[in-house]
Structure 1
Amino acid sequence: MKRVITFGTFDVFHVGHVRILERARELGDCLIVGVSSDALNFSKKGRTPIYSQEDRKKIISSLQFVDEVFFEESLELKGDYIEQFKADVLVMGDDWQGKFDNFRSQCEVVYLPRTPSISTTEIIEVVRSTER
């Protein structure tokens, strides 16, 4: 059984998220998704997500091609998560190209192209600009 792991915030869930998760699942028999905790997201981006970590986990868990979901508490623990979940493949969006190559000794690392013209940050900015 080939196990695939990926990570993300998955805030303001959109078709780009669906597509990358579907493609990740196609690389193996089991897809494990680490959802960034609210605290981790705040430390990375200086803001909390629109949706709570529990809501984001529920959304990801509801997808038929996702087998397991957990909270990613720290970027420094990615190697530990790969080991803990016995992942054979780490999948990330190609906006992270090269940033996770250090895990190649633990598993295969694959960078998938993002869906063009779709970004959670852009969606949030558009919504906020129309609120004014």
Structure 2
Amino acid sequence: MTTILTYGTFDLFHIGHVRLLSRLAELGDRLIVGVSTDEFNAAKGKRSFIPYEHRAEIVASMRSVDRVIPETSWEQKRADIILHGVDIFAIGSDWKGKFDTLSDLCEVRYLERTDGISSTELKAQLAAPEPQEIERLGHALDILQQVVDNYRGLP
């Protein structure tokens, strides 16, 4: 039996996550996914929109995933590989080279990301207002400025 292990935050779950987990499952017989806890994300300077419990449940609901474990630190990967008898540690190519030190315990693979989608890009899009919203806010500020100017003109 070939056991695969990966980790991720899996915030704003999207098609890139689905495809990555499916490709990871094809590498072996059992896929274990470490989902970053909210506390670990905070320690990394990240904040998730979706709480850990929900993200873990979403990942666990994938038929390609056999087990979900909490990811609480960078250091746990070595212990998890030994504990779960991992044959392949695999993760997205944006981490290329970062986990090569685990190759003394198991095979390390970096899988290409799905083109055109990432949680980071989705968060940036959510944070940037649409041009119509900027125009509406500008109009509201103009009206507020008129009110302030009229108020100043009162005796």
What corresponds to 1:101 in structure 2?
Answer: 100
Is 2:82 aligned against 1:79? no
Please state whether the residue corresponding to 1:87 is helix, strand or coil.
coil
Q: What is the aligned partner in structure 1 of residue 126 from structure 2?
A: 127
How many correspondences in the alignment?
131
Unaligned runs of 5+ in 2: 134-155
- TM superposition score normalised by structure 1: 0.95
Q: Verify the 8 A CA contact 1:39 1:48 in the aligned structure 2.
A: no
The residue aligned with 1:47 is 46
**Greater C-alpha Rg:** 2
Consecutive unaligned residues of structure 1, counting only runs of 5 or more, are: none
Structure 2 Cα separation of the partners of residues 69 and 27 of structure 1 = 17
Q: CA RMSD in A?
A: 1.2
Where do 4+ consecutive residues of structure 1 move more than 3 Å? Answer: none
* Structure with the larger RCO, 1 or 2 (CA within 8 Å, 6+ apart): 1
Whole-Å separation in 2 of the counterparts to 1:48 and 1:84 = 29
TM-score, scaled relative to structure 2: 0.81
Counterpart of 1:26 in structure 2 is: 26
Identity across aligned pairs (percent)?
Answer: 46
Larger helix fraction of residues: 2
Please give the alpha-carbon distance, in whole angstroms, between the structure 1 residues aligned to 2:100 and 2:26. 21
